[in-house]
Amino acid sequence: MRKQIVAGNWKMNKIFSEGIELINEIKQKAGTVNQTLLVVAPPFILTTEAVKMLKDTNIGVATQNCSNKPEGAFTGEVSAQMVKSVGANFVILGHSERRAYYHETDELINEKIKISLENNLVPIVCCGEVLKERENNEHFQVVAKQIKGMFDSISSDDFKQVILAYEPVWAIGTGKTATPEQAQEMHQFIRETIKNSYGSEIASNLSILYGGSCKPGNAKELFANPDVDGGLIGGASLKADDFIAIANSF
């Protein structure tokens, strides 16, 4: 049985004190959540503190990125080994904002996935088309290409650790959500694509999260789909009540 997961991508929000407050609130309210793995991804400056604060809970801690390099003269970068060394277990990779603003390619993301796996971090890997690609009816093709590039030469054993997130770029932070049908057909397509490369057992155990304006008001209908295993939540993860309400939407 694959895991239900709700992960909160805080992006570049919350200074240290505000972050501590939000982690505390999530921790207090998470008691109502059953069977769903919660993961928080605050900015790097909060990673260590988040791990400490959440150590006796089932809530996982992720970073929003890591370097493709192991160590050395790469000013401003944070390595997968460093992330692991403070006790975080997850890392979000390939987010569309990283692609759009920091020019990350499938090739670079592939290197990051590999180095994360070498350091026993679970990568939460994002894929998704931009509006123009959907309008041109190229969305399946685009996502298939991203998956092919990002998982190039990644073994079945390694792929078993991976979590995927489908995030149609036109739905991120726009208030425009994919319809449950659009989410389901893409998630099903992704699972089929993975099945073709890694076999049916790995595909059926893979958690595929939906991301893009997911909120308490629409999470239920999205999560009701057989191939939607949870959410990668941006804006709504910055309010503990909304984040927990989404986690309780299965």
Q: What's the alpha-carbon Rg for the chain, to the nearest Å?
A: 17
Among 213, 222, 229, 240, binds ligand PGA (CB under 6 A): 213
Catalytic-residue membership of 138: no
Question: For the packed helices 106-118 and 139-150, what is the interaxial angle rounded to 10 degrees?
Answer: 40
Residue 249 binds to ligand PGA (criterion: CB under 6 A): no
* Distance between CA atoms of residues 219 and 207, nearest Å: 16
The footprint of ligand PGA on this chain (CB under 6 A) covers a number of residues equal to 13
Catalytic residue among 18, 95, 104, 221: 95
Q: Amino acid identity of 109? A: I
Nearer to ligand PGA by Cβ, of 42 and 211: the residue is 211
Query: Rounded to whole angstroms, how far apart are CA atoms 211 and 173?
Result: 10
Per CB under 6 A, the segment of 56-64, 142-150, 152-160, 167-175 that binds ligand PGA is 167-175
User: Is 235 an interacting residue with respect to ligand PGA (CB under 6 A)?
Assistant: yes
Q: Is 179 helix (H, G, I), strand (E, B) or coil?
A: coil
Q: Which is nearer to ligand PGA, 133 or 167 (CB)?
A: 167
Instruction: Decide: 62 and 163 in contact? Cβ < 8 Å.
Output: no
Q: Does 5 bind ligand PGA (CB under 6 A)?
A: no
User: Contact between 212 and ligand PGA (CB under 6 A)?
Assistant: yes
> Which segment (104-112, 117-125, 143-151, 206-214) binds ligand PGA by CB under 6 A?
206-214
In sequence order, what are the beta bridge partners of 6? 38, 231
* Interface with ligand PGA (CB under 6 A), residue from 173, 199, 201, 224: 173
- For residue 121, what are the contacts with CB-CB under 8 A and spacing of at least 6? 66, 80, 83, 84, 88, 89, 90, 91
Q: At what angle do helices 16-29 and 240-247 cross, to 10 degrees?
A: 40
- Please confirm, yes or no, whether 95 is among the known catalytic residues: yes
Q: Residue 196 is encoded by which pair of tokens? A: 């073709």
The verdict on 172 binding ligand PGA (CB under 6 A) reads: yes
Residue 49 Cβ vs ligand PGA, minimum distance, rounded to whole Å: 22
Per CB under 6 A, 167 contacts ligand PGA: yes
Find the catalytic residue in 97, 104, 133, 167: 167
Among 109, 214, 219, 228, binds ligand PGA (CB under 6 A): 214
Between 41 and 46, name the residue whose CB sits nearer to ligand PGA.
Answer: 41
Could you tell me which residues come within 8 angstroms of residue 139 by beta carbon, excluding any fewer than 6 positions away? 129, 133, 168, 186
Q: State the amino acid at position 136 in one-letter form.
A: N
CB 64 within 8 A of CB 19: no
Instruction: Pick the binder of ligand PGA from 233, 245, 246, 247 (CB under 6 A).
Output: 233
Question: Of 173 and 199, which has the nearer Cβ to ligand PGA?
Answer: 173
Q: Token pair of 74, please?
A: 């790469």
Catalytic residue numbers?
Answer: 95, 167
**Positions in the binding site for ligand PGA (CB under 6 A):** 9, 167, 172-173, 211-214, 232-236
